[in-house]
Amino acid sequence: MNLPRVQLTAGEHQIVVHVARSDEERAVGLMHRRELAPDEGMLFMCDTCEVQSFWMKDTPLPLSIAFLEDDGTILKIADLEPHDLEGESSGDPVRFVLEVNQGWFRERGIAPGCRLAGPPFLG
């Protein structure tokens, strides 16, 4: 899919993300992708603020997932394994979910409570 891209920042770290807004775009996500550039990811913008769950069906990449508040603050980070059908839940209601290469957050010292900045987020 040819999705719009935006740049997000976390402190001095930058990442360019594909933005998935529609049901179809969110359903496809990163399925079948075999690689992501080191500072590339996908931001899922959900229609409503609710508990979100993501799984890795047909996704061969190991990913890290972050569930974000409306202002870009990270509530939860988890690692996802390729093709895992179990899924990961945000636990709390959110509208934004970010997937990146597994370890991206850890390698940059980014943890829950850190805030991402960029056009999608309030404030």
Domains in the chain with CATH codes:
5-107 (2.60.120.1140)
Q: Where are the alpha helices (DSSP H) in the chain?
A: 23-28, 104-107
Residue 81's closest CA among 101, 58, 56, 99?
Answer: 56
Under-70 pLDDT residues of the chain: 1, 123
Distances (CA, A) of 69 to 54, 59, 73, 84, 104: 16, 25, 5, 25, 19
pTM to 2 decimals?
A: 0.94
pLDDT of residue 32: 84
pLDDT of residue 122: 73
**Strand pairing of 5-10 and 13-20?**
antiparallel
pLDDT of residue 1: 62
d(Cα 56, Cα 30) in Å, to the nearest integer? 9
